[in-house]
Structure 1
Amino acid sequence: MHENYDLDQLLELVRTKQFRRLRELLDDMNEVDIAEFLDELGPEETILVFRLLPKEVAAEVFTELEDSDDQERLINALSDKELREVLDELYLDDTVDLIEDMPANVVSRILRNTDATTRTQINQLLNYPKDSAGSIMTTEYVYLHPNATVEESFARIRKVGMDKETVYTCYVTQRRVLLGVVTVRRMLLSSYDTRIGDIMETNVLSVNTHEDKEDVAQLLNKYDLYALPVVDGEDRLVGIITFDDAMDVIEEETTEDFEKMAAILPSDKPYLKTGVLETWKARIPWLLLLMLSATFTGIIITSFESALAACVVLTSFIPMLSGTGGNSGSQSSVAVIRALSLDEIDFSDMLLVVWKEIRVAVLCGVCLACANFVKMMIVDRYLMHNPEVTPLVALVVCLTLVFTVICAKVVGCTLPMCAEKIGIDPAVMASPFITTIVDALSLLIYFFIATRLLGLNT
C-alpha cells in the first residue's frame, strides 16, 4: 500500500459503508495500490468497491489483480454493459492474457461482449504458440506513412493515439512492411513540412512472431528499448512488445526457474492463493524422484560397510563432505544457469567454463582442506579427545574435500549446459538434482582414498 494511504482507514470505510468518502480516497490512489487494497477484501466487498471506480481506472485495476480467481469473480458479477466498458478500456494484449487464464464459459462471455474486429485480433493472437513473441505482443501501435509530413503525422497521432499502448515511438510502414521507426522527439525537432521518410531510423531491431518471448524480453533489456516491433515472415509489421510485457515475462521466467531449482513444479498462482493439495502435487514428484535417486548413496555406503566398521570415525565426516560437495555444485550451477539465461555463454563455451571452474575449485578445495585439517587436529583430536582422528585420517578427509569440490563444480557447470543443448530447461539441473549426484561421487572418492591410504578392506 502506498505510504500516503492507510489500509486500516480504507477497510473501516468499507465496513461502515462510507462509500462517498471511500470514492474520494480511491480517486487519488494509484491503480496498483487499489488492486492491493481489493486483495484485502472479501468477494462481495471487492465487487462493491470495484463498482465505485471510474471505468478507465477500473480497467487498469482489473489488469493489476494478481489472482485470476478474483478477475473471474468480478467478470461473473458485472453486467454485460459494465463488462463491455472494462473490456473497451483494456489493451488487446491484456485482454488476451485474461482470456488465457479463464474457463471456457467466462471466455465465451468476454468474446460475446467485444466487437467483431477485436474478436478477430484476439483469435489471431491466441493462435500463436504460448512462449512466442506473437502471444505477448499488442496490435495497438501507431504507424505512419514514409511520404507523410510531420504535420500530417501529428494529426494522425492525435486522432488514433489515445487508444494505443505507446505514441512516443511510431512505426513507418508501406503496404504493412516495416521500413523504419521515428520518435515523437525527432518529429518535434523537425519542421512541419519534413517527410517522415527523411527523418526515420532505418536500422530497426525487430523480432519474428515465433521468436521465444524470453529472448525478446532480454533484447528489450539489453538495448534499453521501450518497445520492440514484431514482424511476420515477410517483414510485415503485425504488433509491438512493450517493456511492461517484457518485465512480466522476466518475472514469470525467474519465478519458474526458482521453482525448478528448488525441485518444485512451476505454478502461476501466488503462494497464499495456492491450495494445499495443489502445492503437494507440485512438490511430491521431485521429492519422490530425489528420494529414489538417493538409493545410490545407500548402496555405496553398504558396499563399504566393512571399511567403515574398521574405521568408524570416517562415518562422522560423511555429512560434512556431502554437504560441502552439494554446496559447491550449487554455486557453479546457479552461476552457469544465470549466464545461460543472459546469453553470456552457450554450449560452445563448455571447455572455457569447465577450465575456469576447475581452477576455482582447486583454490576453494585447498582452502577448505587446510581449514578442515586444522579444525580436525585442534577440535576433534585435542579438545574433544578423540584419538581415532589421526593425522592420516585428517589427510583422507581433506584430500576427499579437494577432489569432491572439483568434481562438484565440474558437474555443477556442465549439467545445465548439457541440459540446454538437448532442449531441457537448465534450471532443472540445479541444487537438488546436482546434490544427489555429488553425494554419490563424494562417497566414492572418500572410500577410494580411505581404502588406499588407510589400508582398509572392502
Structure 2
Amino acid sequence: MFKTDDIVKIMNFISEKNFSDLKAILKDMNIVHISDLIEELPTVEALIVFRLLSKDIAVDVFYYLDKDYQQKIIEKITDEETQYLLKESHFDDMVDLIEEMPAAVVKKVIKNTDENRRNMINKFLNYPDFSAGSIMTLEYVSLKEGMTVEHSIEHIKKVAKDVETIYTAYVLNSYRKLVGIISLRNLLIADEKEFVKNIMTETDIISCKTLDDQEDIARKFRKYDLNTIPVVDNEGLMTGVITVDDIIDVIEEENTEDFEKMAAIEPLNDDYLNTKTFTLARKRITWLIILMVSASLTELVIGRSKEVLESVAILASFIPMLMDTGGNSGSQASTLIIRGLALDEIKFQDIFKVIFKEFKVSLIVASALSFLNFLRIYFISGVDIRIAFLVGITLFLTVVISKIIGAILPMFAQKLKLDPAIMAAPLITTIVDTTALLVYFGFAKLILNI
C-alpha cells in the first residue's frame, strides 16, 4: 500500500509530463511495488505508468496485477502491445488470464496470439477444471537420452528465457515418453562428455496424469518436497509440468474454499469486496435455510418434553450450556480430522483408530467438565443434588458423543466423495444439539421420576 504523499508525487509527475524522472523512479522499483502503485492510480494514470515500463518489466508487472486491472490494461493497450505482452508471457499465465476475463477481452487476447498458441489454448481450456491439465505449463526443459552433458547445458542456455524453470530437466525418448529426470546441479558437476541417459534418475519418478485432481497433486508436492512435477498422459507421454508457484495458488484456493464450507457458505468466485451484495446473500442463505430446518429437530424434542420442563423449570436454564459445550466439543474433533484428511495423514481405513483415540480423549475431557459443573451447580448454585447429577451425567455423555460424531462425519463425507469441510461446526452443532437434548430429557425422566 502506497502512502498518499507518494501517490500525489507520482500524479504530479504525470500532470507535469515529467516522464523522464518518473521513468527513472520506476526503473529502481521492485515489480511487485510497481503493480501495487498501478492499482492505486486512476485508470488513465495507471496506463501511463504501465507504458513507461520497459517491455520485459511490463510483462512481469502485468501478471502481478489484480485481474480487474489486467482487464483494464488489455482493453486500453494497442494490438501491437498486446501481441508483445502475450508473446513474452508464460503459457500457463496466459491460460489463467483467458479463464478469468470476459468474452470481449478473451477475443482480443485470442486475436493477438499466433495459431500454434491458439490451438494449445483451446486444448487447455478443454481440460476439466481443477485437473492437472488445467494448471500445467508446456514450457519446460526437455532433453533427449542420447544428448551429452555438454550439449544439454547448451540447450538449456538456449531455451532458458522461454521456460518457466530450468532447475529440473526431463529426459524423453524418441516417442516423447518420460524416461528420466536430471537436475541442473547434477548436469553442472558431471563430465561434459557423459551421456544424459547414464546419469539421469530413471526410477521413483514422481509424476501425475493430466486428469489427476489438483488437490492430490498438492499433497504430492508437500509429501515429496517438490519444486516441479511432470504431467504425463495415459501412455506416459510427457505433456507438461506443474510448478510450485501454481500449486501455492491451488493450496490458497482450496484452503479458502474449505474455510467457506466450514462456515456454511458456498464458495465465492471472486474477492469479497468485488462480490455483489445479492451474491453474498445467495451464497449464504441456502445453508442457513438447511441449518434452520434441521434445527427444528431441537424444537421438536423440547416440545415433546415440555411436561419435564413444566415439572422442574430450572432444567431449562442448563440447556444452552449443554448444547454449546456439545457443539464446541464436536467442532474441535471435526477440525482436527478435516485437517488430517486434507493433509492425507488420516484415511478412511483409520476410522476405528480415530474413534478409539477420540473416545479416550472425550473420557478425560468429559470427566473434567462434568465434575466441575457438578461442583458449580450443587455447591455454588445450591441446586438439588439430583439435578446437579443429571446435568453432570448429561454433559459427560454429550461431550463423548459429540467428539465421536465430530470425528467420524468428515471421514464418511470423504468416503462418499464429498468435501469433509461441509461436516464442520454448523452441521455438527445441529446434530449434537438434538442428541444432547434427547439424552438430557431421557435422564431427567429417569432420575427425577417425571
TM bucket, shorter chain: over 0.9
Partner Cα separation in structure 1 for residue 419 and residue 267 of structure 2: 12
- What's the offset of the Cα at 1:92? 0.6
- What's the offset of the Cα at 1:55? 2.3
Deviations 1:367-399 (A, max 9, x none): 111111222234422xxxxxxx21211111111
Residue pairs, 1:50-449, within 5 angstroms: 50-66=50-66, 68-174=67-173, 175-203=175-203, 204-381=205-382, 389-449=383-443
- What's the offset of the Cα at 1:102? 1.4
Q: Percent identity between the aligned chains?
A: 45
| Root mean square deviation of aligned Cα | 1.5
Using a 3 Å threshold, how does the CA distance of structure 1 residues 23 and 311 change in structure 2: closer, same or farther?
Answer: farther
Equivalent residue of 2:230, what SS? Answer: strand
Using a 3 Å threshold, how does the CA distance of structure 1 residues 45 and 394 change in structure 2: closer, same or farther?
Answer: farther
Equivalent residue of 2:92, what SS? Answer: helix
- What's the offset of the Cα at 1:238? 0.6
Please say which of residues 402-411 and 264-273 is displaced more in the overlay: 264-273
1:386 alignment counterpart:
none
- What's the offset of the Cα at 1:270? 1.9
Unaligned runs of 5+ in 1: 382-388
Partner Cα separation in structure 2 for residue 374 and residue 65 of structure 1: 60
The one of 12, 16, 20 aligned to 2:12 = 16
Unaligned runs of 5+ in 2: none
Equivalent residue of 2:13, what SS? Answer: coil
TM-score with structure 2 setting the length: 0.95
Equivalent residue of 1:273, what SS? Answer: coil
- What's the offset of the Cα at 1:131? 1.3
Partner amino acid, structure 1, of 2:294: S
- What's the offset of the Cα at 1:15? 2.8
TM-score with structure 1 setting the length: 0.94
Partner amino acid, structure 2, of 1:231: V
Using a 3 Å threshold, how does the CA distance of structure 1 residues 24 and 371 change in structure 2: closer, same or farther?
Answer: farther
Partner Cα separation in structure 1 for residue 39 and residue 331 of structure 2: 37
Partner Cα separation in structure 2 for residue 79 and residue 59 of structure 1: 15
Deviations 1:108-132 (A, max 9, x none): 2111111111111111111111111
Q: Alignment length, in residue pairs?
A: 444
Partner Cα separation in structure 2 for residue 227 and residue 126 of structure 1: 22
Partner amino acid, structure 1, of 2:99: E
Partner Cα separation in structure 1 for residue 3 and residue 88 of structure 2: 27
Using a 3 Å threshold, how does the CA distance of structure 1 residues 23 and 297 change in structure 2: closer, same or farther?
Answer: farther
Equivalent residue of 1:12, what SS? Answer: helix
Partner amino acid, structure 2, of 1:262: A
